[in-house]
Amino acid sequence: MHLCEYARKVALALLLEGVRAADPARLLRERVAFDGRRLRVAGYEVDVGGGAYIVALGKAAGPMAEAVEQILGDAVRGGIATLLRGAERVRLKRVVPVVAGHPRPDEGSLRAGELALRTAERAREEGVPLIVLLSGGGSAMAELPVPGVSLGDLQALTDLLLRSGASIGEINAVRKHLSLLKGGRLAATARPSPVLTLVLSDVVGDRLDVIASGPTVPDPTTYSDALRVLQAYGVLGEAPKPVVAYLERGCRGEAPETPKPGELDNSLAVVIGNNMTALRAMKAYAEGLGFRALILSSSIGGEAREAGRVLASVVLEAKRSGNPLDPPAVILCGGETTVTVRGKGRGGRNQEFALAAAIEIAGEEGVAVAAMGSDGVDGPTDAAGAVVDGHTIPRAKQLGIDPAAYLRDNDSYTFFRIVGGHIVTGPTRTNVNDFYVGVVATEEVTW
């Protein structure tokens, strides 16, 4: 096995370890305790002796709801959980599963949104707690638009924003002001019943108001902020007219604002797992293989191609000078980048990250870089990401492929389909941002 192949295998093994460490059901069982009456987590407790309702939203909603049903048993009165297509396998007894769309909301998303709001109303009417289980993807998978805005309007707006290069926080500032569910409105519906939210974070910095568009926490953004996002990314003129009209009504005070800080005294949120949870497990695994390992950051953002070049440069410096650590070395990062789509190709942020990194490490022996969505999905493709090494670009050139041209056209998916390097996992049933791994292998370490 040559060193590049070995470095790739190590990178892939680390990615899979990150997914394992972010398993939502395992995290819930480790961090939530129940004595038959009180549910305890992170020093807080909620009395569920009289029962509780469950609302689980996002890509990890199925396994999270399943775990909480097992923990609470007969205390669960009912609820709803969103399921991603391709990941419908779940055993739920009292919670209703709903298959919903992502990244574009669909009819299933509307049904999930309606059931979520109805569940919050039942918790309020019966005077019992509402337990909300949140994970990334919840913004698209549960939707209940404001009057006058249709599902088609939301789908068109989502497509525009995803191609614009806007951050997830900016996108969700818009979503929150077009929803009867998001931006704290779910918790407001349940008030005065207590609301406990257990969060698997897919947002850099664990911003609770951004994760799944913050349905149970106060919203610091306004209608004016939402309009500014559309203006800043040049999509105001293309946005559906009912969307713009409603946001303008909100700016004039003719539509109710989302709950603001200090207005949701019935709601408490706890993060049970995030990107750093996975990175720490990956670091320990790398050290167990005999590598020196460093977590560079769990907050990588910006343009995917630029972030890919940066990680590649750090890996090359480790190989050539031993900075920031001597080989054999593993550099670990996490976060969520963006892609401003200017070309006509097909890809995802992790594949674009990997392609940019491949160009930087071309010809280097014993070096690999991998980028993967922890949810197993990268853009509108069947890949989770890609892994590259020093041989990737020479192999492409032998095939007559110009890597720079594919990068310019945002066509990373086609590049890796031809040259090889796709990571395909299918839905992983978790979501804690993206993983980025750089490996410098030496002959001192063997598989």
**pLDDT digits over 252-272, tens only?**
999 999 999 999 999 999 999
Q: Are residues 297 and 252 in the same domain?
A: no
Q: Are residues 190 and 321 in the same domain?
A: no
Q: Are residues 307 and 266 in the same domain?
A: no
CATH assignment at residue 431: 3.40.1480.10
CATH assignment at residue 100: 3.40.50.10180
Asked if the structure places residue 304 within a domain, the reply is: yes
Binned at pLDDT 50, 70 and 90, residue 89 comes out as: confident
What is the CB neighbour count within 10 angstroms for residue 266? Answer: 18
Asked if the structure places residue 447 within a domain, the reply is: no
Cα separation, 189 vs 123, whole angstroms: 9
Q: Output the DSSP codes for 224-239.
A: HHHHHHHHHTT-TTTS
What is the rounded average pLDDT of the residues 173-184? 97
Q: Are residues 293 and 193 in the same domain?
A: no
What is the maximum span of the chain, computed from C-alpha positions, in angstroms? 68
Query: Measured between alpha carbons, how far is residue 352 from residues 28, 57, 284, 388 in Å?
Result: 33, 28, 28, 11
Asked if the structure places residue 167 within a domain, the reply is: yes
* Domain end call among 219, 241, 273: 273
Q: Are residues 251 and 200 in the same domain?
A: yes
Q: Is the peptide bond preceding residue 103 cis, with omega within 30 degrees of 0? A: yes
* Domain end call among 229, 249, 273: 273
The dihedral through the CA atoms of 14, 201, 269, 134 has a sign that is: negative
Average pLDDT, the chain: 95
Instruction: Please provide the distance, in angstroms rounded to a whole number, between the alpha carbons at the two ends of the chain.
Output: 9
pLDDT at position 279, please? 98
pLDDT at position 445, please? 55
Cα separation, 304 vs 315, whole angstroms: 17
Full residue range of the structural domain in which residue 343 is found: 3-16+276-440
Asked if the structure places residue 420 within a domain, the reply is: yes
Q: Are residues 247 and 338 in the same domain?
A: no
Q: In total, how many domains does the chain have?
A: 2
What is the per-residue pLDDT across 127-143, written as a single tens digit (0 to 9) for each? Answer: 999 999 999 999 999 99
pLDDT beyond 80 at 443: no
Asked if the structure places residue 9 within a domain, the reply is: yes
**Which residue carries 């599963």 as its tokens?**
97
Query: Measured between alpha carbons, how far is residue 246 from residues 212, 253, 293, 388, 407 in Å?
Result: 21, 11, 50, 46, 38
Alpha-helical (H) ranges within 44-137 are 61-72, 107-126
Residue 284 near residue 410, CB atoms below 8 Å: no
Binned at pLDDT 50, 70 and 90, residue 168 comes out as: confident
Q: Are residues 199 and 51 in the same domain?
A: yes
What is the rounded average pLDDT of the residues 213-240? 97
* Domain end call among 273, 293, 323: 273
pLDDT at position 84, please? 86
Asked if the structure places residue 294 within a domain, the reply is: yes
Q: Are residues 372 and 333 in the same domain?
A: yes
Alpha-helical (H) ranges within 179-222 are 185-190
Q: Are residues 263 and 284 in the same domain?
A: no
Q: Are residues 381 and 360 in the same domain?
A: yes
pLDDT at position 204, please? 86
Q: Which two tokens stand for residue 62?
A: 């199925």
Per residue in 63-94, is it b (16+ CB within 10 Å) or e — as a string? bbbbbbbebbeebbbbbbbbbbeebeebebeb
Asked if the structure places residue 435 within a domain, the reply is: yes
Q: Which two tokens stand for residue 304?
A: 């995917």
Spatial neighbors of 398 by CB under 8 A, at least 6 apart, are none
Q: Are residues 379 and 433 in the same domain?
A: yes
Alpha-helical (H) ranges within 322-411 are 349-360, 392-398, 403-408
What is the rounded average pLDDT of the residues 155-178? 93
Single pTM value for the model: 0.90
The dihedral through the CA atoms of 415, 418, 421, 427 has a sign that is: positive
pLDDT beyond 60 at 447: no
Q: Are residues 269 and 280 in the same domain?
A: no
